[in-house]
Amino acid sequence: MTLHEPLRAHAEKTPEKPAFFCGDAKISYKALDDSTASLAQWFLDQGLRHGDRVAVHWSNSIEAIQLFYGIFKAGLIAVTINTRLKSEEIGYILHHSQARMCFSEPAFAPQAEKAGAACSVFTELPRFERAEAPELAIVRPDQPAVILYTSGTTARPKGVTHTHRSLTEAWLILARATSKAAWEPGGTTLCILPIMHMGALWVVVCSVCQGGSLVLLPRFDPVAVLDSIERFQCTGAVCMPALWQFIVAEQESSPRRVSSLRAAGAGGDAVPVALQERFRTFFGIALQEGYALTESVPVSVNPAYAIRPGSIGVPNDGVELRVVDIDGKDVRDGEPGELLVRSAANCIGYWNDPEATRAALGDGWLHTGDLAARDADGYYWFRGRKKEIIIRAGSNISPQEVEEALYRHPAVREVGVVGQSDPTYGEVVAAFIVFRQGTTANEAELRQFAQQHLADYKVPEKFVFLEDLPKGPTGKVFRRALKEMLSTSVATAS
């Protein structure tokens, strides 16, 4: 099945049902099907062919949805671009993906235009009127549909590539897990996260596949979240734990009518037990912790009827999990090891990176780089990250990418970046700096410099100045020692 087949089916079955709401705007299934078919034909009329890449640099909106489904129908590949990225970061993605076009929301277009890529930048959707439905070439389920760039353990992000089949399989996994997840098929879901990220894109796909209605929030705002649940009688929502903290606090201070909510999920980072308890107090339902990653979603979830606080739950139907040691051998229950995933919803690899693809998927299992343990009842427990990645409020940040940006400062001789635990965001970025002899810079100057090259969420929130960085025998920066310094300074301060 392709991603747009369910859209056509629901357009014929329930043509006037709203498919998406955004503020006061809405679009029905029929209007979405018709407009995206015309948009797909426009893409082909411009000379694009199956497999060409089109970048989408847009906040949550009906226009962004039209772009995605127009791209899918034309057999093209959507390249998602986070609206918080700066021009250098955008330029890398456009160049690496060899995008032919970039659709950039007017508010963010200056960054895309400064990126210096060879593709054209459009700031609005084309206008077209067609009396007859266009005849489009057949799109196969195994064709790539989307590339999502995510920071890894290298300085440059990798393009996680999903096909029509892997994304529709992600919906089928949810459909099979409905009773486990307490999800209401065909209901009204709230999309809190940016659809440029896999978690929110999955919510979009699931809503269309099951013929539901989806409420899009252009940006995160806890007031808007609660107002939307009350106004649209939303039945489900998924969000990062750090953001749920703000939503719960708002509900505590200014309660809304939220009894329509039947399912609420959290993932992308550890979900504190205290948050789960407060959520139940103020929303009357469980906050279900689960596990997923850009390369595969969904993976596991705590059943609504049997939650084990602190666990990432049990595998969803159709998903296999293993916990292995450094030699790839399964470990005993209770012992930590790397979590491996086998699922029809796994990505097919990393765009234009065969080496990384072989390392992650070469044996048929997705090697997540995350550490977990399985208990005797089949529940899995997150035990840390094999990778050095920093996860701030669910967003992946590569330490090497931040270091690379700071190394450009003329006063910086050495830099080491690690994550520091934070009660709100899970982790924030901390940078250890060694200056060149005879030079210096203060924290404000370095932060302002970093903001010129990095998205705001990647900019260090803490700077520590040292005479030298701790290193191992090979000269590699000893990150564990840096993290210990942070822990010691926190303990001393308290």
- Across 252-268, average pLDDT: 94
Tens digit of pLDDT for each residue in 97-133?
999 999 999 999 999 999 988 899 999 999 876 656 6
* Whole-number Å distance between alpha carbons of 117 and 103: 13
What does the pLDDT read at residue 475? Answer: 56
* Whole-number Å distance between alpha carbons of 135 and 138: 9
Token digits of residue 7:
């859209």
**CA count, 13 A, side-chain hemisphere, 455:** 17
pLDDT band at 179 (very low <50, low <70, confident <90, very high): low
Give the domains, in start order, of the chain with CATH numbers. 5-383 (3.40.50.12780), 390-493 (3.30.300.30)
Question: Which residue did the predictor score with more confidence, 70 or 269?
Answer: 70
pLDDT band at 186 (very low <50, low <70, confident <90, very high): confident
- Across 323-343, average pLDDT: 95
What does the pLDDT read at residue 398? Answer: 81
What does the pLDDT read at residue 472? Answer: 63
pLDDT band at 273 (very low <50, low <70, confident <90, very high): confident
What does the pLDDT read at residue 254? Answer: 97
Which pTM value belongs to this model? 0.87
pLDDT band at 269 (very low <50, low <70, confident <90, very high): confident
Token digits of residue 451:
């903001």
CB 7 within 8 A of CB 33: yes
What does the pLDDT read at residue 399? Answer: 86
CB 340 within 8 A of CB 367: yes
Amino acid in position 57: H
What Cα–Cα distance (Å) separates residue 96 from each residue in 71, 118, 350?
Answer: 19, 11, 11
What Cα–Cα distance (Å) separates residue 433 from each residue in 408, 462, 463?
Answer: 12, 11, 7
> Would you say residue 10 has pLDDT above 80?
yes
CB 368 within 8 A of CB 396: no
